[in-house]
Structure 1
Amino acid sequence: MAEYAQIRALIAVRLSDMTDVTTSPLRQREAGEGQAARIGARVVGYATDLDVSATKTTPFERPELGDWLRRPDEYDVIIWWRLDRAVRSLADMEDLTRWAKEHRKRIIFAEGAGGTLDLDMSSALGVSDIVVRLLAWAAQMEAQAIAERVSGARATLRAQGRWAGGIPPYGYRPVARDGAPGLTLVPDPSAVAVLEQMMADILDGAQPHSIAMELNEAGVLTPRDHDDVRRGKVPRGRAWVGTTVKSVASSPTLLGYHVHQGKPVRDGKGRPILAGPPIVERDQHEQVKAALAELAAPERRERKDTNALLLGVAHCDTCDGRMYMYSANSGKTIVYGCRALARGRKCEAKASIRADWLDEWAVEQFLARIGSWPVTRVIRHSGYDPGPELAEVTSELRAHMGERARFKSAAGRQMWQETADALEARAAELETTPFVEAREEVVSTGKTYGQMWDAADTAGRRRLLIDAGARVMVKPSKGRGGRVTKLDVSRVDFVIGSHGDPEKESLDAIEREESE
């Protein structure tokens, strides 16, 4: 026993899903401690990685185990409960045993089909490469079998209208089915309220990154943190980002669809299978997607790192190019200037003007002209266009047709044909679905431009100017006639686009109605 008393053991614990009680961390620790006692080893630490997949991460990429593997001098043996707690692929097993040979370590799996598996790499007479490869191959086959069983089980549950488990899509929460086994999804009121405000802001022209900042400032939980709270876990304090806002606001899960790998799961007739009641209607969903696409267009992108009020509003009268704020006179003066050369263009007479003078004059002009006008918002009703879903189905059908040669057995060809028939049936149904014309509706926000101006920050005021169609045209200086002490108003012109005029909007709305 004295020989074994000096052995130092590290116990490794891994769990992909914290809800899996059959492979709980406690059970794994107890198995590791029992094995350490049997070989007379002293436990020097635990590498505990929870909610970490062995299929998606190598042992060296896991937070705690990876840190221990970079400190090999602190232990002599690593003990796992079972082989699948360590690796799920041939490559990962080879990398782990190569590391063990290099550092002369011993690897033990306390339990398994053949009992305890002890791989002693501490000497030249250790386990052969052939044995290691066989073990790794077995682990990989087990992982693939598990994935196939899980995929098949989830497909069956979806076909029954049941929730297959995992992290529910944002906006929903799983509940027990009424009078039937299993779970289904229902709208989560708190998340739905966030989504509704988010989509309204997007339709109002707010950028996703701005919405993300507001959500973070308000302490709204991200989808992952929201799910952590639902499951009784401590949220990690993740932050909203623009891509998350775009993802959840445009997800097809909001239509109530079961989604797998970004595509709706379909039934035998090619129709999307519902996981729960829709949070939004199809026309609103398409409106949000269209608004996000418009916001992403180059001409609508706003600078995040500028306090220039008139960026996108002030233009050089000579070349009609945007004017940008920068410092002049060795940093003594801040000006708006034409930067045609920076855009690869030529301007015959570039304009430049003091920024504070132009800002003050433009604000006076804006508020004097339309400060009392009501701010209106154009609501676009997309009606119903079967085109988007038809395009999705056509794309899926085209990809599915390309996989026909893969199926060699009669059973495989039958399964392929069933999916092809379902997709074609849905495509035929969509092709005969009538198109409902889109329309626009102008509604009042209940506020004036002046009221919204007072409540907005610089970025919000810039957006008000741009949305109202405001343009400030700046002519080049007439020459140096001594020191200039005030704005030369003959050099500037302020223009408001017609869409900022409520009377013009009303006339346009009447004209559209009469033409329908």
Structure 2
Amino acid sequence: MPTVVIYDRLSRLLAEEAADHRISACKAYAEARGWEVVHIATDTNISGATKLEDRPGMRDVLAWLPRADYVLAAKLDRYARSVLEFQRLLKAAEATQTTIVTADGAVSPENASIIVNVLAAFAEYERDLIKARITASKAHFKARGNHLGGLAPYGYRVVGPVNNKRWEIDEPAAAIIRECADRLVNHGASLVGLARELNERGVLSPSEHARQRDGRKLRGHRWAVPALRNVLYNPAVRGWLVQAGPGIKRGALTNEPVLDAEGNPVSAGPAILSAEVWSAVRAIIDSNAKGRGVARSGKSLLLHIARCALCDGPLYKQRRTANDQDFSTYVCRAGVGKTGIHAPVVIIARHLEALVTDDFLKRFGAMQLMRWAEPDGSAVIQLTEVTGQIERLAGNLIHLDPKGAAARVAINQLNALEKRQAELKTEAAHAVGRWVNAGGTVADAWDQRDEAGQRSLLNDLGARVVVSPYVAGSPRRFDPERVDVSYAGPAWVRDVNPAEAALRAIELEEELSS
């Protein structure tokens, strides 16, 4: 019985349209043809112009191509609205002797080779028209200072008709902004202290305030220093429409005012802070942000690996240096200060990390490292490209002098390509994730990786480090007897899917912190 993979894609522009009826139509079409449906793949909120390998559902389709006779979608534009991407899909299907068809009858097994390219060109043309219309509409509203969608910045609410939305001051939130700016500029307050005070007073955070205003259920989010900093630093408090530069992720620290033809900021509503106060606030925040733009050391080596023996909570690294010496420690927050619930659990970080590193490499350093390989479908695309290179190189080889240097180079290239082709054929034969040889030992990987990569290795081997509290009367120096290091074993031996393991780790962390 012929086999078929069903594919459906839903773009943001058609987010209100459900996929169920299209998939049902595909199933009915397959049943009428006597085909067996072996897999159903879907992409939601994915543009038709997106590259094939950047769509999770399409990656499933590509992974299934070597084992399917047909790929079926409701209509041609569900596959792609880009001629280039559709051609890539066709070449991948051709390499695996799979036929691309549609349930609406426009592309059938009988006419597939003739009509698909024509229809794909029209789909791309339609997408370009939609894109141009949306771009022009956004530019028009942006020039007028209209709100362009989403939540208004903290301190404002959106008012006005659909085609003329503006910002209006949300007085309760604006009062908080003015108070914090005044405390910061005139009374020497800090962002940390202000955030703590707002939480103690029960002032709702920006996200919670918006939810309460809109009548939605609160989630219990609290003020944090980054949130307060972003509110005060954002040019939106001047009433200006803001945007991030090209290729830059939008955020309070990267937002810039939208400028009109004369280079002046476009106003979307009244200002909450005056120019003088806002400039002073930004100057204070910038002067205190000494680490901004400086490379960070990242998370600690034993984050979520080192645990407290008293409460099983995670130990966090407190970084301290003096006279160029490292005095950093791992600390359990539940045993710190007046609010601590148990005795302090503190240990010198560099000694603990050295002990764990030595023990880890002694046990597992010589072991062959494995890596998790997801069936992302890219192997099918690469196989198509490599096969084409082999055919072109082989065709050129017959015109070269067999004894010449060019022929020797071409033969070496052919050998390398054929080896890669064999690897890709093996990769393409798998439709499910699996552990594969990473090409080296655990010790090799440890030496080549940074701290984050080494932490990943510890997690892959199921490392767990439990630190006991200091016992009165014991030597003050580092005591290895306080440390218990254990391992659940290699993830590839435990046959753990990394995605499932990560979800379980999050659930466990939530259980421990609740």
TM-score clears 0.5: no
From the CA coordinates, give the structure whose radius of gyration is larger. Answer: 1
So what's the TM-score if we normalise by structure 1? 0.43
